Amino acid sequence: MTYATAHNCAIDIVYETMGPDQNEPLLLIMGTGGQLISWPDGFCQGLVDRGFRVARFDNRDSGLSTRLTEHGTPNQLRMLLRPGSAAVYSLRDMAADAVAVLDDIGWPAAHIVGMSQGGAIAQTMATAFPERVASLTSISSQPAPRIGQPSPRDLVKVIRLANPRRVKTADDAGQYTVDLQQIVGSPAYPADEAALRDRGRRAHARGRLDMACVQRQTAAIVASGDRRAALANVRVPTLVIHGEDDKMIRPVAGRATADAIPGARLVTFPGMGHELPQPLWGSIIDEIAAVARVARPDDTTRI
């Protein structure tokens, strides 16, 4: 696979595609601080095997895409009191980045699958750019920033862990990924520690941990506010997936997302945390394929 670059004005978005050109187009959008490689290779290949052509990309302020370092770290107090003034960009801007990827590939529309903040971006695509969304899958996400927030205790654990001074080398990044998994992972599905370390090292090589970037992405979530009124107008087939043991965005957020979108199907998995556990890949892909078939009933032979 070879990287390509889409452009949204001054923002460069690095992406890659996999699967035959004739397959059904599907765009993956990752969450806060994640990179395109945060979508596991095996999960992506599973989607290809089901008849999708898959694209995944680095959001702005992550991976190899444009980083807005000149804007520094958002002021935390302003994020609480005047979130709109603290944010450098919005979820709509990030949704426009995703549309730029579709444009660069040449897809008029695609099935959109988002995880965590990526789910919020996907929801925003469905409201702001409805003609580009064939179906919507929102995983481990929320319709408003205050719904399903982590407990103060879990939030403090993550903040203490995400210290750039502790992550200076590729091995440090591997250990960070393992340690983070212990907080947000799936109680019923122990992770492959070697795979986690490898992902952390690869992420470090593509762009070191930068908490200012993470905070700018977080500010976009807070500033963009409650989407439930807009989501009431979504008319594409929609799937909402949530882990019943998600500590970072608690399950009430998944239920709220599904309640906000007419006809949305909610699927929850016991023992799943804020991630995509490998033993559940097949079940999750089955659900994504099912909602895609509703959107494109003439393409059932492909997916």
Query: Mind listing the domains of the chain with CATH numbers?
Result: 4-299 (3.40.50.1820)
Neighbours of 262 (CB within 10 A): 11
Neighbours of 198 (CB within 10 A): 15
273-124-118 Cα angle (round to 5) = 30
CA distance 83 to 110: 31
Residue 97: predicted pLDDT: 98
Residues in the chain with pLDDT values less than 70: 1, 77-84, 298-301
Cα distances from 300 to residues 21, 51, 295, 303, in angstroms, run: 17, 10, 10, 5
Amino acid in the structure at residue 253: A
pTM: 0.95
Residue 77: predicted pLDDT: 62
| Backbone conformation region of residue 106, classed left if phi is above 0, alpha if psi is from -120 to 50, else beta | left
Residue 74: predicted pLDDT: 80
Residue 163: predicted pLDDT: 80
